[in-house]
Structure 1
Amino acid sequence: MKYLYENRKNLSKFFCYASIFCSSCWSLYLLLSPMGFIFCMEGSPRKTVTVALIFTPMYYLGLVGVYVLLVGRLYYTFERNPGLQVSRRLLGVLLVPIPIYVILYIFLNLKIAPKQSSSTSIVIVACATILYVTSHIILVSMFLRKLIHLASTRYSVATNPGNTVELTSQQMNLIRIMTKYTLLAFIALVSTCITVVVIAISLQLRNPHLHMELFLFASIAVDCVINLVCLFLSFSFAEPHYQQVCFCLHSLILKKFQFRVVRAHAVP
């Protein structure tokens, strides 16, 4: 496993700092979001929008922090492996979506108006969501492809007398990492996508008899909680909790990755 963990110290420090940043942003939103609920129930649209403009950046900063965390994990994990390392040019390309997120968020704030629906806001939210989902899928796919390549080339599979393939302990460790990484990233991404749909509906529907802003604040708060849980479960010390919560899905995905590693090893 030395190829994967040669630069473990830098990876651990980066992961720790990025996790603290993301969890701080989401926790701050959860602590301050009740103010939005209060203003919304009081029927103060301008105060509600003001609170949203002040507090929701914490939520989006957390999402950007997750993206930076994924990029950093991809870079630092394979930094010392000549065949799998991420070049500086590719690293720069992977960081391009971050300023785009900021620009889209600024435009979104400029288009939000109390008691008025805006089709432009929906377009901005849709563009940001497509970019966010696409960039995350690319990052996760790159990380998984590199791990599968590492598992299938650095370690040889064993064949027992029954001609069935048995993976080594190092390969199984890599497969468990792939499974955990994929599952938690998928859960967090689905939660964020659902939240974005609720945000888009809240921006489009302006019914005086319904407090749509409540759904906005509540959906973001729920997504913050889910993201915090996924972030917590990604740590090694939370492995027992991860197995309790995600055992069934983990087992299903684990079998898929085992098959992919064996197939990749069989291909010349």
Structure 2
Amino acid sequence: MVQLEELSASMEDYLQAIYHIQAEKQAARAKDIAMRLKVNNSSVTGALRALSKKGYINYAPYDVITLTEKGDIHAKDVVRRHEALRKFFTKVLYVDDAEAETTACKMEHEISRTVLDRMIRFVNFIQVCPRGGEEWIRGFWTHSKQAEPYERCDNCIAECQEHFEEARKAVGDMPRGGILLSKLKPGQRGKIMKIKGDAETRKRIEDMKIPLGAVIDVEAVDSSNNIIKVNVRGYHIALRNEDAENVSVSLYLG
């Protein structure tokens, strides 16, 4: 695992801005960065020079700006922190999008990787645990909006048992070795059971931060390019269909 260098919050904001602009336009220009971060051109120039000197970006005056391999790794880490925090605020705490975005921007530079990893695991856990799930999260949202104690526990337990039994029957029909990741549809999720293929294939998949036991969410399927876009522990990954054919998962329902 690459050891990331400590950067100031401002420098990380620049890397994140360049990452998003580069994803949209293949390369960034100083004016694009200034507009995105709402800063003046002189501030951008100083920051770009500093990042270039540290080896995070390819930069020359009046030329396009791109991330180096080192810069891309650090930028993706910042984006991961931001997305994990925003997802926690919106999906678990039911904070509105605007406030979640603003708060994530403030916290993404300070949160430790241990706490971040626990948050991601917590979100995954409560969404798949038979005692948790979306209904359980919505129950918290209802509870947080009312002053009196929450009193639907008996009904909730009954609903949970019914849902668990339905899920158990469905999973019982699943092949013992699981199903191929390539068969999952957008919105479905599973737990990675096995990575097949030769040693090179397995290493390539594991290097993309797709380890055994991790929960994987299918975000989109691009059939024309044979790409499956997934989210694993906060990382957004574009996976080739041929690689997805080598990953077996146990499907989570509900």
TM-score bracket for the superposition, by shorter chain length: 0.3 to 0.5
More strand by share: 2
* TM-score when normalising by structure 2: 0.34
Work out which structure has the larger RCO, using CA pairs closer than 8 Å and 6 or more positions apart in sequence: 1
More helix by share: 1
